[in-house]
Amino acid sequence: MDERAYLERYDANAYDRPSVTVDLILMSVVDGAPAVLLAERGQHPFAGHWALPGGFVGMDESLDAAARRILHDKAHLTDAYIEQLYTFGAVQRDPRMRVISVAYFALLPVERFRAALRHAPELTLASLGVSPSGGGVEARIDGDGPVTLAFDHDAMIALALERLRGKLDYSHVAFALLPERFTLRMLQEVYEAILGQRLNKPAFRRRMLDRGWLEATGERETGASFRPAELYRAHIPKRDAR
């Protein structure tokens, strides 16, 4: 039997199949704290709870394409740093039916994050903090008490933050959270927000400059009532380190 004949005989319906979705963790750093965009669910299950934007994966689109489509449809954004995070496949994670969800996280500079909020009224900003009981994260909207998230979305967000924290050390993800031109102070604020701890200024500046990922523009910040900081631009050498 040659390959062609084989393909024709193949029964694609021999087994029952799960649904596959993509959920998006849209992150930024707002006012010194990490933040995500959430949508309130109107329908069962978890009606009234907050959830990550997501959607089913089409039969003719790759997972990455599905993630980008959702980014566009739900947040009206094209072109963001986006990366697959983890796939959640517990049997009962969705009470309706078997759903396997591939979580992606996207990183946005604040301005673009805010722009997404303006264009997508169904999305709301939630800022993240570590829960006092240790371990997980809690999401707060408008400074109120922590909200309850739908499905296993709390685990997704916690994992995204953990991954981001881990990548700060050896990758240049932080630049995805900043505008094209930024000061060293802004960069440090991003690091401090994600790591959840203050960093020593001269040491931070030295490390960053030594990495060679920063290019001085020669221009300076304006508007400050003190010595203006130099504006830098990210300069990532050739091969995009993961």
**Which residue ranges make up the site for DNA (CB under 7 A)?**
183-185, 200-203, 205-207, 210, 220, 224-230
Residue 86 near which of DNA, a second copy, none (CB within 5-8 Å, type-dependent) = a second copy
Give me the phi and psi of 72, to 5 degrees please: -75, -50
| Two tokens, residue 108 | 């946005």
| Two tokens, residue 228 | 């203006």
Determine if 100 is a binding residue for a second copy (CB under 8 A).
yes
What is residue 11's three-state secondary structure? coil
Helices (H) and strands (E) in the chain, counts: 6, 11
Determine if 203 is a binding residue for a second copy (CB under 8 A).
no
Determine if 227 is a binding residue for a second copy (CB under 8 A).
no
| Smallest separation (angstroms) from a second copy to the CB of 60 | 6
Judge contact between 13 and 108, C-beta under 8 A.
Answer: no
Task: Return the half-sphere exposure (C-beta side, CA atoms, 13 A cut-off) of residue 112.
Answer: 21
> Could you give the strand order of the β-sheet that contains 181-182, starting from the edge strand earlier in sequence?
181-182, 230-234, 214-220
Determine if 48 is a binding residue for a second copy (CB under 8 A).
no
Determine if 204 is a binding residue for a second copy (CB under 8 A).
no
Determine if 51 is a binding residue for a second copy (CB under 8 A).
no
Interface positions with a second copy (CB under 8 A): 1-3, 6-7, 10, 12, 15-20, 43-45, 47, 56-57, 59-64, 66, 84, 86-91, 95-98, 100, 102, 162, 166, 170, 242
